Structure 1
Amino acid sequence: MLLTTSSSALLLPLLHVVVLLLGGHQGASAKTVSGLFNSRVARQSHGQFITSFMYQGASGVLVVSVDSARLAVQKESRMLLYADMMDDGLDNLSCSERLTKAQLTISLSEEENNQSIPRQYSPTAWQAVYVDRYTCQEGEVSLSQSDLRFTVVALNADSAGNPLDHFSAEEAGLHTFYFVLVLAYFVASCVYVQPLCHALKKGGPMHSVLKVLSNALALQIGHALCSYAHLARYSRDGVGLPMLGSLAQLCDYISQGSMLYMLISLCVGWTLSRGKKPQSRPLQWDSSPSSTALAVGGVLAQAALLLWEQYSSWGGSEHMGVPGGLRTMAGVLLMVLRVGLALLLAPVLYQITTTERSALKRDFYLCFAKGCFLWFLCHPVLMFISVIFNEHQRMKVVTIGVILCQSISMVTLYQLFLSRSLYWEVSSLSSVSLPLTMRGRY
């Protein structure tokens, strides 16, 4: 059963990482962007999109370096900058309108060209687009000249007012959050790893559940570590470690797939087995072909939507794989899936709880429902709440909120399965030796 869970959760996310490694890291998702200015691409797209960056305050700078200023002059190469046109605003402009609507134009006449960004009284997203003499020419054009190699660096002002901060306004603060999160995981590990390992060695009906929870939590810790390492490097060079960023996404996908499989199969398995199980038998992971099929289907659907969402938002600011939410069809379907699963499991848990005559078991199911629904609904609810925040705060609200809520859900389930299951209640093990136990009620 656990092998099936891991395989289902791993298959599609692994394909995502293969695409990342084979296709290369998209330049538009980093704030130090290197590549080639291509006249043919610029002509076909009415301007070659290079990157976007959310500037805030004063002292913002965009630095454009080219390997041949002579070739850039011959091609009349320019960088056009547009403010507040992120929502497909550029797509509605003709080629000639794009040239005239740009707020700033950088003529690439030097090997290094610096452009100061006007003071932004509120965080504002800017797009950088490359054009040259061929971009808007009508008729047949001979594009015999070679491409122009470039490096673009976008910088906000740091705390001292110097343009050294590679983080866009919507990303500012994530580095500190992941540092605090890693520190919290480290402290918790020092306190609870040994007693948790001792509890796992005891076995029992809840052993499989505790193993899945531990694996999911370990993957979340791996996600936090990789994200922090990537952002720590990103803060210095604006590129970071893309492979670690992809690994962080992979850890998160597998963790979410494992949790989804466990929650669905537990709920449905308990329901299908209630008529067969003696009341004196301890609560445990009851699997059946129906519950396994539903759980595997949910995992595969979630994995497919996560990959589709990541592909749809490729080239945006989500270089950490932050969920795109309701901006893409995949994001909408992902929210619908999670809400739908919560609505599907709600009557199941309600039926179990209302028909259970044992107060201890009823309390067990109620606590499980709280942890279950917190895990399923935190993302959709936070996406809904985030609309009241400013644009540059929404991604951080959702990212930080989802991580914290899912961590709380995992801790709640740990408390439940370690201290509230009948196995632990009737055993002779001392609750003092168990980590994260809930004391004082029984």
Structure 2
Amino acid sequence: MFITLLLLSLAQGKHVSTVLSLTLDEPWKYVSKFASNIGTSSWDMKVKYYKPLDKNSEKFTEFKSSVYIDSKWPDALIQQSCENKESVSKKHKTLQVPINGKWSETIEGTLSTNLHTHFWYISLSSCNITSAFRFRVEMNFLQPDGSHFSAEEQGLDYVFISVLIIFFIALCGNMIKLIKDFKKTADLETNLLVLNIAIGFQFLGIICEVLHIWVYSYNGRGIVVLDVFFQIFECLSSIIITILLIVISTGWTLKYKNFPDPDTYVPICLLVVIINLLIVGIGRITEDSYYRNSDFEGLTGYFLVSIRVIMWFWFVFNMRRLYENANEKFFKVLNRFGIMASGYFLTLPVVLGISWSFEPYMRNVFVVVAVNCMQVLVFVFLTHLFSEKSAFYKASTMSGSVLPGKIQ
């Protein structure tokens, strides 16, 4: 593990490869952004036509790359004409792109930051364009200290490795308990099994992300498939925990022991799964958009927040029925469960709201740390909740005994 930490810090890199179109209506386009630490960062860019205009020609067309500091970027966006957008920036580079489909010569530039970290935005334009063209653009960024990671991504490697260790310990502990209980009773506790599946998905996802970052640190690209798997596994883990909390709020393990009729929940669960996978897809498409300073901003964030809030309302509606039949002792048990579950559902909306009080480059780390901390707390809480020592367990159908606090 310590070797992995060392390797992750050796040569971190950001490489951008994208395809964009310039048209008569849109002759100016955003390419990428980079949060530079204090000092002088550097960048380079090369461009080629997506499809050659004339393979045998040695001619080229000229395009302009402009650099905008974050304080000027909104001014560029509100301008109507291509010329006005370009005029907002004082830093320009000219690109001569061969029409035969070969790469242009690589242009280089610097980003000077004096007082504190800034985002810098790069655009490509041709205000005198006569027809629509598609281009492939490749860029590299370099921090003053030699790192290629944008400032909002720095430090996430240590966050994910720390969470990975915690999930590994939790998963091992729960699996040992499951095996011991199975040997005693020849029966598996469904709730603990479902919880372990959720932890397992999260564990696999973080392994994928750590490996992706590790490879990314060497080639500036990483392994995109691993990053996608991380998002999918994280999504599945979140869905399982959401379903588990909602099913418990209906009275499972409290009023009845058997898992509820799947016909009631499967359609809703499938809908939630499909929506979350669509969110993952949207997130991949828009991940380097100029308006996203974290993985949870933009359209992706709106969808995630909406789903969490809707699920929370469903959870609260179910919990009201449990409170109606609970005595004073079990009322306290339900309170602890309800507060922790509500924290899980509402952490993302609250954290995203708080993150807007931070500088843009700090939002991503803050959101990732806060969301993962809540995820860890929920896993630890549910693990304790399903243990034989908890008041919840003793007052539930899992204990197999009728206690004064149990709902009948």
Whether these two folds match at TM > 0.5 is yes
Partner of 1:259: 241
C-alpha distance in structure 2 between counterparts of 1:373 and 1:401, whole Å: 15
User: 1:32 corresponds to which letter in structure 2?
Assistant: H
Identity of paired residues, percent?
21
- Cα deviation for residue 314 of structure 1 reads 4.2
Higher share of residues assigned helix: 1
- Cα deviation for residue 245 of structure 1 reads 0.5
C-alpha distance in structure 2 between counterparts of 1:45 and 1:371, whole Å: 49
- Cα deviation for residue 367 of structure 1 reads 3.5
C-alpha offsets along residues 317-345 of structure 1, whole Å, 9 cap, x if unaligned? Answer: 79998222xx33x5335323322332332
Give RMSD over aligned pairs. Answer: 3.7
| Stretches of structure 1 lacking an aligned partner (at least 5 in a row) | 1-29, 159-163, 275-282, 428-442
The match for 1:122 among 101, 116, 121 is: 116
Where do residues 399-418 of structure 1 align in structure 2 (5 Å cutoff)?
399-418=368-387
The match for 1:216 among 198, 205, 217 is: 198
Where do residues 17-416 of structure 1 align in structure 2 (5 Å cutoff)?
31-34=14-17, 41=22, 43-65=24-46, 74-84=60-70, 89-90=76-77, 92-108=79-95, 111-131=105-125, 135-137=126-128, 141=130, 150-158=137-145, 164-189=146-171, 193-199=175-181, 207-270=189-252, 274=255, 284-288=257-261, 292=265, 295-296=268-269, 299-300=272-273, 303=276, 306-307=279-280, 310=283, 313-316=286-289, 322-324=295-297, 327-328=298-299, 331-353=301-323, 355-357=325-327, 359=329, 361-416=330-385
**How has the CA–CA distance of structure 1 residues 83 and 206 changed in structure 2, closer, same or farther, with 3 Å as cutoff?**
same
Tell me the secondary structure at the aligned position of residue 61 of structure 1: strand
For the 8 Å contact 2:293–2:361, the answer to whether it is kept is no
| Stretches of structure 2 lacking an aligned partner (at least 5 in a row) | 1-12, 50-56, 97-103, 402-408
Tell me the secondary structure at the aligned position of residue 37 of structure 2: strand
- Cα deviation for residue 407 of structure 1 reads 1.6
Worse-superposed segment, 340-349 or 201-210: 201-210
- Cα deviation for residue 78 of structure 1 reads 2.7
- Cα deviation for residue 59 of structure 1 reads 2.2
C-alpha offsets along residues 250-302 of structure 1, whole Å, 9 cap, x if unaligned? Answer: 1011111111222222212449x95xxxxxxxx53541478526853772575
What TM-score results when the alignment is normalised by the length of structure 2? 0.76
For the 8 Å contact 1:67–1:111, the answer to whether it is kept is no
C-alpha distance in structure 2 between counterparts of 1:348 and 1:190, whole Å: 32
User: 1:335 corresponds to which letter in structure 2?
Assistant: V
C-alpha distance in structure 1 between counterparts of 2:362 and 2:211, whole Å: 22
Partner of 1:23: none
For the 8 Å contact 2:30–2:290, the answer to whether it is kept is no
